[in-house]
Structure 1
Amino acid sequence: MQKLRASIRGRWAVPAAAGALIVLSFALDGLAELTLAANLAMIAAAVVAGWGIVVKAVRALVVKDIGIDLLVSVAAIGAIIIGNYWEAAAVTFLFAIGGALESATLNRTRSALAELVAVAPDVAVVLRGGRQVEVSAADVTPGETVLVKHGAKVPVDGVVIDGAGSIDEASITGESIPVEKTERDRVFAGTISRSGFLQVRATGIGADTTLARIIHRVEEAQDAKAKTQSFIDRFARWYTPAVMVLALVAGIASGDVVLALTLLVIGCPGALVISIPVAIVAGIGRAAKDGILIKGGEFLEASARIDVVAVDKTGTLTEGRPQLTDVVVLGEGFDRASVLHWAARAEAGSEHPLARPILEAADSEGVAYALPERVEPVVGKGIVAAADSRRVLVGNAALLEQFGVVDDGSAARAAEELARLGRTPMIVAVDAEVAGVVAVADTVRTDAREMVEQLHATGIERVVMLTGDVRFVAEAIADATGIDDVRAGLLPEDKLDAVRELQRAGHTVAMVGDGVNDAPALATADIGVAMGAAGSAVAVETADLALMGDNLLRLPEAIALAKRTVAVMRQNIVIALLTVAALLAGVFFGGVTMAVGMLVHEASVLVVIVNAMRLLRRSPGAAAPRRAAVRPAPAAASPFAEAPSPERPTR
């Protein structure tokens, strides 16, 4: 009974009632020859189907908006006045059916958003007073311990504090392969446990979860207008009054009221108006399913024009987890342990990403170190620290020069040789003496080369690396990945200048990065792309295009999808304009009636919607599920005999 009531009140109720009255009218006229009753039934059908149309037309007129509803309303009322009851009923009936079909198919294009909402968890199992308590997911308190059992949805964003298991994160990152989770790993609300048992400390609940932010962003993006859509809207505001004027002039000139009313019907720009938004909704929805967030229609269009992609190196082309590879001893009275000690002592007070591998190496080799008394970063050069009343420098040759430390050339040569091997060297100086050189190396992502190849296949002319690292390291990474252009040794403002230079050359530039130092370039680029945005609320909200996972192949997939979406938008515009032109010709040369015109008009609307729905299918060339990471083979042996190097990435 509830389903029956829902269907009666649903989108098909009005077309069903009007259709029944039309059938009744034909029955009364054909079988019982009750012409008056048949006409009344046909008028009733027109009123039932057209009442909502007229109401919307009046409301639009109140806000000075002349749209399709007004054209249909005038045509239907005019047809009733001149006694063409069938034409009035047919026009409103077909328009009502078209509206119901549009609503149903548009809901299909928003299916990605509906699926995201559906995965939002309802309940959570928390530990309270040593007991397991089932509560609403919204009632979990930050800091509480949430239990995630096999097969259950993760109800909150949080950090694993105990246990191990695999989590299906497809709803967040688009990756179909479950991810292994252990202590200190992050988990996200809406993901599903495929094995194991986890205890999770809640950090994000309800609207503060990554899933909620994604849903909010997709909602906004699907409603945001592209430049083409804004143009079409402005065009429709002038086009619709022009059609009314044309119909009036044609009616007066020919003395044929039916001709004027028919022109009103076939001139409806319905397919044209809906051609762009339906493609945008479908394109953004498809992207969301694949773990790609696009900020709105404007950015979807801009992504289709990208011809240069600029990428940061660390954390984008590389894993962002460097390891210590070399310790070169140069100063008298120093050995490997003492060089590593002073390097770790200085880096213990640094937040630089390269500090971690030095500290980890010191810990693993049993080298003791304490916190420095003071640490001062020197932008683009390194750090200077004070420890035990001694000054410690860790950085490049320019840092030594700035603080007056004399190098006889051995440190510069060692650093250059290490850089040629694709490692990042750092010279260590204590007071006025060079102690040695330490070097770290990052791991190139397994899919970095494939990403560059796929970008070229999608029509990207150049892939440019913008990095603050030294040129030798950058060139080694570029050789391994197929990067077209390398710009190394850049400060954040230099990256910004590089993006502007590319734009001045006439390129549409996408900048891909994941760090604060990339922020100016990301903001300046035509499209700013954030990597691994699932763990960053700021990236989800601010990036023009956010890749929720760390799969680099999502980037060429996103650009390819943008190009497909823009192609569909253009196809829809052509379909809409050709339909109107063909109908106008049919009216003036005979053969197209008011009912036929409305039928063709509604058919064209459905055609553009169905054409846009093709975007919901995954592209044949879309990125395959990410492969398991492969540990790189060891590099060639270090040229420094006294500095044995552990396994390092192949470049």
Structure 2
Amino acid sequence: MKFQKYVQDHNNQITLITAILIVAGYLSKYALNSLLGYNVILAVASVIAAVPIMMHAYQALKARVISIEFLVSIAVIGAFIIGEYNESAIVTFLFLFGSYLEERTLSKTRQSIKSLTEMAPTTATVVQADGTTEEVDVDDVDEGDIVLVKTGGSIPVDGQVVEGHGYTDEAVVTGESREVGKQVQDSVYSGTMLSDGYLKIEATKVGDDTTFAKIIELVEDAQDTKSHAEKFIDRFSQYYTPAVLIIAILVFIFSRDFKLAITVLVLGCPGALVIGAPVSNVAGIGNGAKRGILVKGGEAMDTFSKIDTFVFDKTGTLTKGNTSVSTVKNYGTDLPAALSMTARIESLSDHPLGRAIVSYTEGKNYVFNDLEVEDNQTVKGQGMVAQIDNHDVLAGNQKLMQARDVKLSAQQSQDLSDLQATGSSVVIVAVDGVVTLILGISDIIRPEVAQQLQDLRDKGAKHLVMLTGDNQATAQYVADQVGIDEVHAELMPEQKVEFVKKFQQAGRRVAFIGDGINDSPSIATADIGIAMGSGTDVAIETSDVVLMQSSFEALTHAYGLAKKTVLNTKENIVIAIGVVAFLLIGLIAGFIYMASGMFVHEASILVVIFNAMRLISYGKAPKNDQVVTTTPVLK
């Protein structure tokens, strides 16, 4: 056992020693004219290089698997029997060197996992009850502990900010490199970096329960999950490898050419075929992980590539999921003054529409908190009335205006109708009996949606469907704005599931895109479930693909990546089978021999690896900045 471990740990050194001995052997023959030295040195090189190969073959046989190493081992023994020490030395060296290059190139495709694990914090600074701090192992932090993170530090837990403010780099979670401002009550994630400021964080999730730990686990599991192509190749190899052994025996029986039989064994090794599909799978999943796209394995990647119908939830998916002021109609008044009075009256209420107006006004940096309110009244079902700085201010719906005998002009009535047609909630503002503002408040359509949905079509999507619990008018408006083909509104979650099943029964391959919580039944039912969000527990557990950025650019990239990964896998299979066919034809025709054939064989393994590595750079880097426009919708 110790010897086996020693050989495994020094595999690269064995490869180097073999190469040096081969060079020394040829120097002995051609420089020193010593045939004996040539044969002895190459025989020693063969024995040294054959040790790790035969050990792998033995371990595989114990598991009742006839491996590539077993075929090479027989070929080496055969070469020794016929005295072809140069053939055995070169074959074993090329096999070891090919394994070395394979290991090096595969490690590059797994770099996303390595970079993630390296970012995982190992210690945390815990704030004690007396205010002092103590640095502890991250595994010793408990839920409810307060941890301190300073500028440049890595956040060790999932939690909520209880003190301080700063900016975090959440690229490891979302794939988005833009810094995110954090203040009291904001959520933060383990593994993210605090680029500026300081934070005290109450731990809500620690250790393996954190979002970051689950991401690492998910991506690692995904890279080990096999696609349909890989499963087929595994089954194929179980029969192919023994078949090569039988063919070599038959060749010897009928030709009595032992060297030819041994060469068949070497050239029949399905190395490129075995490695071609897994390396494509690993590279594709690694590409997604770098961009905050978590694909649960090769099978999910394979199924995703075949999707023709995308079904979307509306709120939080096609739209941003939070109400805000989307339209401001101003009628000849001082807009800052009118908005300030509106925000002042709405600040007296907890109504969601009022909070949206206050937030909008604060974003404009208009000062309103110092406006004097002499009297205020909430009129149930209509709005609010107040006297602000000696002005009578009304903010509410059309019923409030009618009750207070405030008339709307023809233009104002038309503007009101237009906003209502979009599904927006409307707040009318009157000052001293005259309408000054009409505000449209709605959920905002994601600005990139229309273009990204067209990109989905360009990549092969045939049907784009919206299923929503919202009203028909609002749903239809959103669909018209972004280019959805089919709309079904006012649905309960179980009704969405029925529609997904209906599409599947019609022969469609369905992907459902939702927030991973309310839509988890539909996500689980669809052929591919896609969660757009910050990686909640339900999203990670239920969906096949998690888009940590919650962006449509990530969705279209993931769809294109899935198709490219599957195509890349097929390319590698064709290359592998083509090389085997070429070698066998060359063997029959007499222009391929054991050493040259082994060289081509190992080269083909590198070709499929390098072909797969093209997936690592697939697609453009995610955009950090987007121009946000407001298109009215909703709720």
- Partner residue in 2 for 1:96: 96
1:585 partner letter = I
Does structure 1 residue 357 correspond to structure 2 residue 358?
no
Instruction: Give the corresponding residue for 2:585.
Output: 585
SS in 2 for 1:65: coil
Cα distance in structure 1, aligned partners of 2:628 and 2:326: 20
Offset of residue 205 of structure 1: 1.9
The equivalent residue for 1:193 is 194
CA distance in 1, matches of 2:72, 2:305: 36
Distance between the aligned counterparts of 1:324 and 1:172, measured in 2? Answer: 30
Partner of 1:210: 211
Amino acid corresponding to residue 240 of structure 2 in structure 1: Y
Q: Which residue of 2 aligns with 1:247?
A: 248
The structural deviation recorded for 1:361 is 8.0
After TM superposition, give the deviation of residue 549 of structure 1 in Å.
2.1
Residue 416 of structure 1 and its aligned partner are, at CA, apart by: 11
Unmatched 5+ residue regions in structure 1?
1-5, 327-347, 349-354, 371-414, 426-438, 634-647
Is 1:164 the counterpart of 2:165 in the alignment?
yes
**Secondary structure of 1:507 counterpart:** coil
RMSD across aligned C-alpha pairs, in angstroms?
A: 3.0
- Per-residue deviation, 1:322: 2.9
Matched, 1:501 2:496: no
Give 3-state SS (helix, strand or coil) of 2:26's partner: helix
Structure 1 CA distance for aligned equivalents of residues 326 and 26 of structure 2: 88
SS in 2 for 1:322: strand
Question: What amino acid is aligned across from residue 547 of structure 2 in structure 1?
Answer: L
Deviations 1:484-513 (A, max 9, x none): 211112222221121122222222111001
SS state at 1:28 partner:
helix
**1:396 match:** none
Distance 1:102 1:76 in 2: 21
Q: Deviations over 1:20-63 (max 9, x none)?
A: 22223223334444433432221111111111111211221222
Cα displacement (A) at 1:629: 4.1
Equivalent in the alignment of 1:486: 487
Output the amino acid matched with 1:17. I
Q: Distance in 2 between matches of 1:54 and 1:576?
A: 24
264 and 595 in structure 1: CA distance in 2 versus 1, 3 angstrom threshold: same
Between the aligned partners of 1:48 and 1:356, the Cα distance in structure 2 is: 80
SS, match of residue 158 in structure 1: strand
Query: Any residues of structure 2 matched to 1:53-72 within 5 Å, and which?
Result: 53-72=53-72
Matched, 1:135 2:152: no
Give 1:294-333 correspondences, 5 Å limit: 294-322=295-323
Is the 8 Å Cα contact of residues 312 and 466 (structure 2) preserved in structure 1? yes
Please state how far the C-alpha of 1:66 moved relative to its aligned partner. 1.2
Partner of 1:20: 20
In structure 2, the partner of 1:456 is 457
Corresponding residue for 1:519?
520
SS in 2 for 1:319: strand
With 84-93 and 187-196 compared, the bigger mean Cα shift is at 187-196
SS across alignment from 1:90: helix
Q: Which moved more, 1:216-225 or 1:21-30?
A: 21-30
- Classify the secondary structure of the residue corresponding to 1:180: strand
Partner SS for 2:320: coil
Describe the shift of the 1:8–1:245 C-alpha distance in structure 2 as closer, same or farther (beyond 3 A): closer
Most deviating of 141-150 and 305-314: 141-150
1:613 corresponding residue in structure 2: 613
SS of the aligned residue for 2:136 comes to: strand
Alignment pair present for 1:155 and 2:156: yes
Cα offset for 1:148?
A: 2.1
How far is the alpha carbon of 1:423 from its aligned partner?
3.5
C-alpha contact 2:42 2:89 (8 A) present in aligned 1: yes
Which residue does 1:108 correspond to in 2? 108
Q: Which moved more, 1:496-505 or 1:167-176?
A: 496-505
| Gap change, CA 1:455 and 1:80, over 3 Å in 2 | same
- The percentage of aligned residue pairs carrying the same residue is 43
Seen in structure 2, the aligned counterparts of structure 1 residues 253 and 466 have a Cα distance that, compared at 3 Å, is: same
- Looking at structure 1, the residues matched to 497 and 546 of structure 2 have their Cα atoms a distance apart, in angstroms, of 20
Alpha-carbon distance change, 8 to 487 in structure 1, aligned in 2, over 3 angstroms:
closer
The number of residues matched between the two structures is: 546
Deviation, 1:139, is 2.6
User: Structure 1 CA distance, aligned partners of 2:195 and 2:175?
Assistant: 16
Any conservation in 2 of the 1:424–1:470 contact (CA below 8 Å)? no
Which residue of 2 is the match for residue 225 of structure 1?
A: 226
**What secondary structure is seen at the aligned counterpart in 1 of 2:473?**
helix
Stretches of structure 2 lacking an aligned partner (at least 5 in a row): 1-5, 328-348, 360-372, 381-415, 427-439
Q: Match for 1:445: what amino acid?
A: R
Partner SS, residue 553 of structure 1: helix
In the TM superposition, residue 144 of structure 1 has moved relative to its aligned partner by 2.0
Q: How does 1:111-130 map to 2 (within 5 A)?
A: 111-128=111-128, 129-130=130-131
Secondary structure at the counterpart of residue 519 of structure 2: helix
Superposition deviation, residue 515 in structure 1: 5.0
The letter for the 1-side match of 2:159 is G
Q: Which amino acid aligns with 1:18?
A: T
- The answer to whether the Cα contact below 8 Å between 2:223 and 2:282 also exists between their aligned partners in 1 is yes
Q: Distance in 2 between matches of 1:325 and 1:88?
A: 76
Residues 299 and 515 of structure 1, relative CA distance in 2, 3 Å threshold: closer
**Match status 1:601 vs 2:589:** no
CA distance in structure 2 between the aligned counterparts of 1:368 and 1:41, rounded to whole angstroms: 99
Match of 2:176 in 1: 175
CA distance in 2, matches of 1:422, 1:99: 62
The CA deviation at 1:561 is: 0.6
Report the residue type matching 1:89 in the other structure. Answer: A
State the SS of the aligned residue for 1:135.
strand
1:286 aligns with 2:281: no
3-state SS, counterpart of residue 233 of structure 1: helix
Match of 2:446 in 1: 445
Q: Is the 8 A contact 1:450 1:553 kept in 2?
A: no
Whole-Å Cα distance in 1 between the matches of residues 103 and 528 of structure 2?
Answer: 32
In structure 2, do the counterparts of structure 1 residues 304 and 418 end up closer, same or farther at CA, with 3 Å as the change threshold?
same
- TM-score normalised to the size of structure 1? 0.79
Relative to structure 1, is the Cα distance of residues 363 and 100 closer, same or farther in structure 2, using a 3 angstrom cutoff? closer
Q: Distance in 1 between matches of 2:351 and 2:236?
A: 58
Q: 1:358 to 1:583 in 2, by over 3 A?
A: same
Deviation at 1:418, TM superposition (A): 7.7
Seen in structure 2, the aligned counterparts of structure 1 residues 626 and 507 have a Cα distance that, compared at 3 Å, is farther
Pairwise mapping of residues 28-47 of structure 1 onto structure 2 (< 5 A)? 28-47=28-47
Aligned-pair CA distance for 1:615: 0.8
Q: Does the CA-based 8 Å contact 1:357-1:440 persist in structure 2?
A: no
One-letter code aligned to 1:531:
M
Maintained 8 Å contact 2:313/2:466: yes
Give, in angstroms, the shift of residue 135 of structure 1. Answer: 2.7
Counterpart secondary structure, 2:444 = coil
Letter in 1 for 2:59: R
Q: Secondary structure at the match of 1:321?
A: strand
Contact 2:291 2:622 in 1 (8 A): no
Distance verdict in 2 for CA 1:454–1:7, change over 3 Å: farther
Q: Is the contact between residue 167 and residue 181 of structure 2 (CA under 8 Å) also seen in structure 1?
A: yes
> Which secondary structure state, in structure 1, belongs to the residue aligned with residue 80 of structure 2?
helix
Amino acid corresponding to residue 564 of structure 2 in structure 1: R
Relative distance call for 1:257 and 1:367 in structure 2 (3 A) is farther
TM-score under structure 2 length normalisation: 0.80
CA distance in 2, matches of 1:360, 1:72: 73
User: In the superposition, relative to structure 1, how do residues 325 and 282 fare at CA in structure 2: closer, same or farther (>3 Å)?
Assistant: closer
* Helix, strand or coil at the partner of 1:86: helix
Match of 1:234 in 2: 235
Q: Give the distance between the partners of 1:166 and 1:508, measured in 2 at CA.
A: 42
CA contact under 8 A between 2:323 and 2:356: conserved in structure 1?
no
- 1:116 and 1:74 map into 2 onto residues whose CA distance is 42
Change (3 A) 1:424 1:239: farther
* 1:475 counterpart residue number: 476
Q: Give the C-alpha shift of residue 649 in structure 1.
A: 5.5
Range with greater deviation from structure 2 (303-312 or 493-502): 493-502
1:49-83 deviation digits (Å, cap 9, x = unpaired):
11111121122122221121111111111010111
Distance 1:152-1:554 versus aligned 2 partners, 3 A rule:
same
| SS of the residue 1:36 aligns to | helix
Task: Kindly provide the amino acid, as one letter, of the partner of residue 304 in structure 1.
Answer: S
SS at match of 1:23: helix
